[in-house]
Structure 1
Amino acid sequence: MNIKNIHIGSLIRSKVEEHQISIERICRFFESTEEDVEKMYRAKSMDTEILLKWCKLLKFDFFRFYTGHLILYSPQSRIDNVFRKKENTLVFRKSIYTQEVKDFILEKIKTGVMTANDVVERYKIPKTTLYKWMKKL
């Protein structure tokens, strides 16, 4: 799985094969033809409404791949990890890391592709957070 370049159609096909869902059931669910389903499998991206239907059919959150991508590859905004004042109260906005993101990063460290310092620098993950993940290995 390449979290930097997401090809949602192939991820869906993979889950369909994993769950052994018949093409007939998929066609009935989407009220479409086999050819339409094959087009979805070849699609690098798709409409969110259709993706939501796939999530329901396969009982899997495909949106998490995009969330993981945003966490890893979007530039940090200045207010993401700082206190903000909201109606006379301070609010701390904390980043949320999915298990897929954690696995992706830990795999990079385990295989030697990146060091812990490289990860902290590139992805702006706090050192304490990263070392907690590494401890649990």
Structure 2
Amino acid sequence: MSVNFKNIHIGSMVKQRTIELDMDISRICNFFKCSADEVEKMFLHEDLPTNILLSWCKLLEYDFFRTYSQHLILFSPPAKKDASKTEKKRTELPQFRKNIYTKEVIDFILELVNSQQKTKRQIIDEYRIPKTTLYKWIMKYNKKEIEDKKK
């Protein structure tokens, strides 16, 4: 299953992970204290409340929230930089770097390049991935792919 970072259907991702782990429905029902029908309904939901999704993350040992982070990396509009506003607003919330790319995002981008769905220039412009980063990925991961095919 290829992850669609633009249109996330978290219920189907949760279902896919339960299938991959061959997790018994009774274990899931015991964990959530609900019926099998309620579990099946969760699989059909495009989104889930964060407390429920957090529970799924723990049960299935997978960070589903990372999917949303990757969506932000790929599809959030660039922050406007105003030179006249040099002072940043303070926040008590934790601050995260935006340019941390997971293997899934790298694979997604390389698939776009290799299948010629997008040009390198389009990827650089649309996803704001630095040119040097994109070219390093192409060299590194396409080289690995060629070596793996030779084995």
TM-score, scaled relative to structure 2: 0.79
Q: Find out whether 1:109 has 2:128 as its counterpart.
A: no
Give runs of aligned pairs for residues 80-119 of structure 1, distance below 5 A: 95-119=99-123
Report the 3-state secondary structure (helix = DSSP H, G, I; strand = E; otherwise coil) of the residue aligned with 1:77: coil
Shift of 1:101: 1.0
In structure 2, relative to structure 1, the CA distance for the partners of 1:85 and 1:128 (3 Å cut) is farther
Report the 3-state secondary structure (helix = DSSP H, G, I; strand = E; otherwise coil) of the residue aligned with 2:63: coil
Report the 3-state secondary structure (helix = DSSP H, G, I; strand = E; otherwise coil) of the residue aligned with 1:136: helix
Cα separation, 1, equivalents of 2:70 and 2:64: 11
Whether contact under 8 Å (2:73, 2:98) holds in the other structure is: no
Shift of 1:67: 0.7
Pick one of 128, 131, 134 that aligns with 1:127.
Answer: 131
Runs of 4+ in 1 over 3 A off after TM superposition: none
Residue matched to 1:56: 58
Shift of 1:78: 2.8
Cα separation, 2, equivalents of 1:13 and 1:77: 35
Number of residue pairs the alignment of both structures matches? 127
TM-score, scaled relative to structure 1: 0.87
Residue matched to 2:6: 4
Q: Find out whether 1:40 has 2:42 as its counterpart.
A: yes
Cα separation, 2, equivalents of 1:96 and 1:2: 18
Q: Find out whether 1:24 has 2:26 as its counterpart.
A: yes
> Structure 1: where are the runs of 5+ without partners?
87-92
* Greater strand proportion: 1
Q: Percent same amino acid at aligned positions?
A: 50
> Structure 2: where are the runs of 5+ without partners?
89-96, 142-151
Residue matched to 1:68: 70
Report the 3-state secondary structure (helix = DSSP H, G, I; strand = E; otherwise coil) of the residue aligned with 1:95: coil
Cα separation, 2, equivalents of 1:71 and 1:15: 23
Residue identity opposite 2:14 in structure 1? I
